[in-house]
Structure 1
Amino acid sequence: MAIFKIVHITKYQYNWPIKESINEVRLFPHNFSNQDVLDYRLLITHNPDVEFYQDYYGNRVANFNNLESHEEMVIESRMTVRVNHSLKIPAIDNTTVKDIGKEKSENINLLRLNYPEVIQKQQEIEAILAAIDVANKPIIEIAQLCNQYIFDNFTYTKGITNIETTIDEILEIKKGVCQDFAHVLLQLVRTVGIPARYVSGYICPYESGLRGEGATHAWVEIYTPTQGWLGLDPTNNIWTMDNHVKLATGRNFYDCTPIKGTFKGLARQTLSVCVSIGYEDGRHYEEINDVLLEEIPQEINEQISYIEQQHQQQQ
């Protein structure tokens, strides 16, 4: 069992004032059998009214509209979470993919989480599955083999992918970060016929050298009829442990995006994320990352450049 105090600060900055920033937030830790939320606070620039609802996958979501003109917006999520994964490694049982058949036919959620994405390199996915010989193996063993394959054959490299990077591109370069590896693992196990979901959260460091520690993290949960949802972390080739804190689940990253939104105005924006983790013994860990955003459409980019040129001429 472990208790973590996590502060997640998201800072948007704009080179010109913008207004009517409409946002959707999924930064609320789950309450479930192995995780208790002891305290939670959400702080937002200008203190806008916030509406809450639960999405299709059971995630708590906040919506708000920051109407005032601003050049900076900070969203601060503060939480205290107790995690207790009593079972570190699932039991190997003889449950196979065929044993999920009836449940999938009766549960539309499992069915939705069973279909792989439509990609160009699906033959490569099937070749990987053939190479690691998953035929007729139990679900748990298949998942472990897929997890191991990603860990052994893909290189953890920051800064070369972003939220728009496709599974095809990851299969091509064999490099990426936790989000990319989670998407590849989802494609592998779903192709076999195992329902699986994307999980967003944090991996809190214990000075263990795990990749992705101290920042937002992503992994996968597979479903078995005998043991329910089980977490697999392909970035580290482990089952989820006491230092995995879960935020949201869905089909892929887009269902679990921590913050997404839009605004009125012509401006270039930058985004930085700071995650701070405190421990019961007083230790503290902090990591700050500048996030690579989607490219601005050329037409909008030209308009912003024109405004900047006009401003420089007037100085």
Structure 2
Amino acid sequence: MPLLTIHHVTAYRYQQPVSLGEHRIMMRPREAFDQRLLSARLDIDPPPSELRWLHDVFGNAVAIALFNQRASRLIVTSEMTLDHAPIAQRQVDVEAYARLFPFTYSSEDMPDLLRSIEREYHDPERIVDNWARGFVSNNGNTETIALLTQIATGIQREFTYVPRHEKGTQSPIETLKKRQGTCRDFAVLMIEAVRALGFAARFVSGYVYNPSRSEGVVGGGNTHAWVRIFLPGSGWVEFDPTNGIIGNRGLIRVAIARDPFQALPMSGTWFGPPASFLGMDVTVDVRRADPALFSPTDHGAINSRAIGVSGK
């Protein structure tokens, strides 16, 4: 399991001091068998008057910061160390009844999967439906893993990745027409496409890194987005249509949601003159850590540098 460090900084800039409202921060990776968080530190400048943690409806770790002072900037720095266990495509196992498409989820799973199967975008002309159906074989022998792999790699191969720092996500139809977009646009397109085929899918926000120097990935230097699809026998499996990755190799989960708006790394409010906001800067650096430099005594530390709050 590679030992990784993540340095994530989000900075908001204002023309003059403004009043800061409540901010929700989702930068802490999820604990799981394939990614074990060893240490986590959250620094906030200016210091919040109150910092508390909660788990949202999807089980994501969310920090809630409240402020009682005015400021011309807000800088949130998250530093983490974790063990990450890559899972390759060949390790994805599907139960016999689901190895060929189409199949029906079991009666035990279906009630909990329904909201992840429901479509989020209107498609009256069935544009997304028809595009997704184009990956299904006409001879009735479409393998489930092959189908989903072809959709993910098809997006990677046929669409152009174009970074966009503005908020919001293109609709799947818009992405199909433009043939370009960001990682979150590609994730939303794939989610809607596989939902059109009856799969349960969720949006994932997190980080991407190069497992080896011989591999290139797109979407580094910022947060990244991809898809999780529920497959009987393996559960929720990662598919990254931006890089054509199947399995979690190079992918670190932070937030899982039904819709990208539920997985924003940081959101909040401020009060002041309308022209006060100057912009937002985000930097993310993921690299291998030296195990000899890691101190086990740091395990579980969550600190706000400015106010000295810590806990587990």
Q: In which range does the TM-score fall when normalised by the shorter chain?
A: 0.7 to 0.9
Q: Which letter maps to 1:271? A: M
- Counterparts of residues 231-246 of structure 1 (less than 5 Å): 231-246=238-253
Q: What residue in structure 1 maps to residue 74 of structure 2?
A: 73
Q: What residue in structure 1 maps to residue 298 of structure 2?
A: none
Runs (5+) with no aligned partner, structure 2 = 292-312
Q: Which of residues 135, 154, 160 in structure 2 aligns to 1:149?
A: 154
Q: Which letter maps to 1:67? A: N
C-alpha separation between the residues in 1 aligned to 2:137 and 2:203? 21
Displacement of 1:219: 0.8
Runs of 4 or more, structure 1, over 4 Å off, are none
Distance change in 2, residues 1:75/1:160 (3 Å): closer
TM-score (norm 1): 0.82
C-alpha separation between the residues in 2 aligned to 1:162 and 1:262? 14
- Between 83-92 and 55-64, the greater mean CA deviation after superposition: 83-92
- Between 12-21 and 32-41, the greater mean CA deviation after superposition: 12-21
CA RMSD for the aligned pairs? 2.1
Q: Which letter maps to 1:63? A: I
Displacement of 1:152: 2.5
Runs (5+) with no aligned partner, structure 1 = 283-315
**Bigger share in helix:** 1
**Aligned partners of 2:128 and 2:172 also within 8 Å:** no
Displacement of 1:162: 4.5
Q: Which of residues 110, 115, 133 in structure 2 aligns to 1:112?
A: 115
**Aligned partners of 2:38 and 2:83 also within 8 Å:** yes
Q: Which of residues 146, 165, 168 in structure 1 aligns to 2:173?
A: 168
**Aligned partners of 2:201 and 2:230 also within 8 Å:** yes
DSSP-derived class of the 2:103 partner: helix
**Aligned partners of 2:12 and 2:279 also within 8 Å:** yes
Displacement of 1:170: 1.3
Displacement of 1:93: 5.5
Displacement of 1:139: 3.0
C-alpha separation between the residues in 1 aligned to 2:247 and 2:18? 41
Paired residues in the alignment total 280
**Aligned partners of 1:219 and 1:232 also within 8 Å:** yes
CA-to-aligned-CA distance 1:178-225 (integer Å, 9 cap, x gap)? 111000000011111110111111111233211113431111010012
Q: Is 1:182 the equivalent of 2:153?
A: no
Displacement of 1:138: 4.0
**Aligned partners of 2:121 and 2:171 also within 8 Å:** no
Q: What residue in structure 2 maps to residue 303 of structure 1?
A: none
**Aligned partners of 1:113 and 1:195 also within 8 Å:** yes
Q: What residue in structure 2 maps to residue 139 of structure 1?
A: 144
CA-to-aligned-CA distance 1:132-179 (integer Å, 9 cap, x gap)? 225753432321121122123211122387424322321221101211
Q: What residue in structure 1 maps to residue 38 of structure 2?
A: 38
Distance change in 2, residues 1:121/1:171 (3 Å): farther
Choose between structure 1 and 2 for higher RCO, CA contacts under 8 A separated by at least 6 residues. 2
Q: What residue in structure 1 maps to residue 14 of structure 2?
A: 14
Sequence identity of aligned pairs in percent?
26
Displacement of 1:281: 5.4
- Between 255-264 and 209-218, the greater mean CA deviation after superposition: 209-218
Displacement of 1:120: 3.9
Q: What residue in structure 1 maps to residue 64 of structure 2?
A: 63
Q: Which letter maps to 1:75? A: V
C-alpha separation between the residues in 1 aligned to 2:20 and 2:68? 4
TM-score (norm 2): 0.83
Displacement of 1:264: 1.2
**Aligned partners of 1:93 and 1:140 also within 8 Å:** no
C-alpha separation between the residues in 2 aligned to 1:148 and 1:133? 14
Q: What residue in structure 2 maps to residue 201 of structure 1?
A: 206
